């Protein structure tokens, strides 16, 4: 552990520093702050809508007007950024996810009204086709396979419509090879060189996304039921470093590991290897587990902070979490 003699009982007593609250605070190694929080939000069509999501108690799909109300709280709490996910009407979904590149689609209208009302709030948007495709896959399906290169053409356009609508951070979550480079080039060619890219670099083919797919109504659609031809094998770790290395070389400003808690080892490896801004996504299934246990009085609500601190210990610079608003409230009152 160290080349120094670290002492021995009874002269050394590690409990001594734990005896009082002040000394525990003095030597606390990691700290959770509002600056670490990114709040994912689901947006739907209509007005004055706050629709429950059964598998995510306490999380709602909001129409744009209600999102703006929620953001008043977020801005007061000084949450730095939100991540937006649209629930697209099923009538508008098609094989090619064409809505994704319509500059008047739900997501672009949402970005515009947020930016008009909260210009200082960071807005992050996914680049992937799953909210828009009738089959629920993140890319184009050609001969029963999600076609990498054909998908890149659309992702590039999707990134551009979102960035032009005012999105600050483009977050490719599709796991196609080469997408970060293509998107970076498209942004640069269109005078959008200051638009940031947060790549979902190591994104696993996880069942922890189940409730999210309910939230955007893509689960029933998912043909084949699995994204394992593009999302990573849950058994792999070295491969995550290759994914991250490639995304950095293609121009990613920040990288993300997803899911969060079951993949803390990956966060730690990525952060110590690359030392670039690294984010964790505490995904919908992690939220559902924790929230479900709290609501049933099986766990104390302090476990939320404990789960978030685990990301900080592992080396994450920030965390996407559905608990962002309630934890920001708590942190602001401390
Ligand atoms: C879309 C996307 C997913 C999530 C974020 N972006 C789902 C998926 O890949 O199937 C999951 C987020 C969550 O579970 O909270 N590509």
Architecture of the domain delimited by 32-331: Alpha-Beta Barrel (3.20)
Is the pLDDT at 137 greater than 70? The verdict is yes
**pLDDT per residue as tens digits for the range 289-322:** 999 999 999 999 999 999 999 999 999 999 999 9
**pLDDT per residue as tens digits for the range 227-254:** 999 999 999 999 999 999 999 999 999 9
- For the CA of 131, the closest atom of ligand 1 is 1
CB 324 within 8 A of CB 33: no
CB 112 within 8 A of CB 165: yes
Is the pLDDT at 224 greater than 70? The verdict is no
- The count of other CB atoms within 10 Å of the CB of residue 7 is 10
Handedness of CA 158, 159, 161, 165 (dihedral sign): positive
- For the CA of 126, the closest atom of ligand 1 is 6
In terms of DSSP H, where are the helices of 101-218?
Answer: 106-117, 148-165, 179-189, 210-215
Q: Which residue, 327, 285, 259, 322, is CA-closest to 61?
A: 322
Distance, CA of 58 to CA of 145 (rounded, Å): 36
Confidence of residue 334 (pLDDT cuts 50, 70, 90): confident
DSSP 8-state code for residue 104: T
Q: What is the mean pLDDT of residues 186-215?
A: 96
Provide the 3-class DSSP secondary structure of residue 319. strand
Domain ranges of the chain: 32-331
The token pair at 243 is 């994914």
Is the pLDDT at 220 greater than 80? The verdict is no
Put residue 166 in one of left, alpha, beta given phi > 0 → left and psi -120 to 50 → alpha. Answer: left
pLDDT at position 63 is: 98
* Letter string b/e over residues 15-36, b meaning 16 or more CB atoms within 10 A of that residue's CB: eeeeeeeeeeeeeeeeebebeb
Q: What is the mean pLDDT of residues 2-23?
A: 93
Provide the 3-class DSSP secondary structure of residue 177. coil
Instruction: Write the CB contacts of 329 (distance below 8 Å, at least 6 apart in sequence).
Output: 77
Distance, CA of 180 to CA of 163 (rounded, Å): 14
Is the pLDDT at 221 greater than 80? The verdict is no
Per annotation, catalytic residue among 93, 227, 258, 291: 258
The token pair at 191 is 């005078």
- For the CA of 173, the closest atom of ligand 1 is 16
| Residue nearest to ligand 1 atom 6, measured at CA | 173
Q: What is the mean pLDDT of residues 152-177?
A: 98
Distance, CA of 12 to CA of 16 (rounded, Å): 9
| Residue nearest to ligand 1 atom 11, measured at CA | 209
* Share above pLDDT 70 across residues of the chain, in percent, rounded to a whole number: 98
Query: Which single residue is written with the structure tokens 């629920």?
Result: 136
Is the pLDDT at 2 greater than 80? The verdict is no
Tell whether ligand 1 has an atom less than 6 A from the beta carbon of residue 209. yes
Is the pLDDT at 3 greater than 90? The verdict is no
Is the pLDDT at 1 greater than 70? The verdict is no
Active site residue 203: yes
Radius of gyration of the chain (CA): 21
**pLDDT per residue as tens digits for the range 48-97:** 999 999 999 999 999 999 999 999 999 999 999 999 999 999 999 999 99
Active site residue 258: yes
H/E segment holding residue 71: helix 64-77
pLDDT at position 4 is: 84
């Amino acid at each position: 552990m160290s080349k120094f003699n670290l002492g021995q009982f009874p002269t050394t007593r590690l409990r001594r520093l734990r005896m009082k609250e002040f000394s525990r605070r003095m030597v606390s190694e990691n700290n959770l702050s509002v600056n670490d929080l990114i709040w994912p939000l689901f947006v739907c069509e209509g007005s004055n809508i706050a629709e429950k999501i059964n598998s995510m108690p306490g999380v709602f799909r909001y129409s744009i007007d209600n999102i703006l109300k929620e953001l008043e709280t977020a801005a007061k709490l000084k949450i730095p950024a939100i991540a937006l996910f649209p629930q697209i009407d099923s009538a508008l979904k098609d094989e090619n996810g064409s809505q994704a590149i319509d500059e008047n689609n739900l997501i672009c209208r949402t970005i515009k009204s947020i930016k008009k009302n909260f210009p200082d709030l960071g807005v992050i948007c996914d680049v992937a086709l799953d909210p828009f495709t009738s089959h629920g896959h993140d890319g184009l399906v050609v001969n029963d396979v999600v076609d990498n290169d054909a998908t890149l053409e659309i992702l590039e356009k999707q990134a551009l419509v979102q960035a032009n609508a005012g999105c600050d951070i483009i977050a490719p979550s599709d796991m196609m090879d080469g997408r970060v480079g293509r998107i970076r080039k498209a942004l640069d060619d269109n005078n959008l060189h200051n638009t940031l890219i947060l790549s979902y670099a190591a994104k696993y083919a996880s069942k922890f996304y189940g409730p999210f797919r309910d939230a955007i109504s893509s689960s029933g659609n998912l043909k084949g039921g699995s994204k394992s031809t593009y999302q990573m094998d849950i058994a792999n770790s070295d491969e995550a470093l290759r994914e991250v290395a490639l995304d950095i070389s293609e121009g990613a400003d920040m990288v993300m590991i997803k899911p969060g808690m079951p993949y803390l080892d990956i966060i730690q490896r990525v952060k110590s290897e690359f030392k670039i801004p690294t984010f964790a996504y505490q995904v919908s299934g992690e939220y559902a587990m924790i929230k479900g246990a709290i609501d049933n009085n099986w766990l104390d609500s302090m476990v939320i902070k404990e789960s978030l601190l685990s990301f900080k210990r592992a080396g994450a610079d920030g965390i996407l979490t559905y608990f962002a608003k309630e934890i920001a409230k708590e942190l602001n009152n401390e």
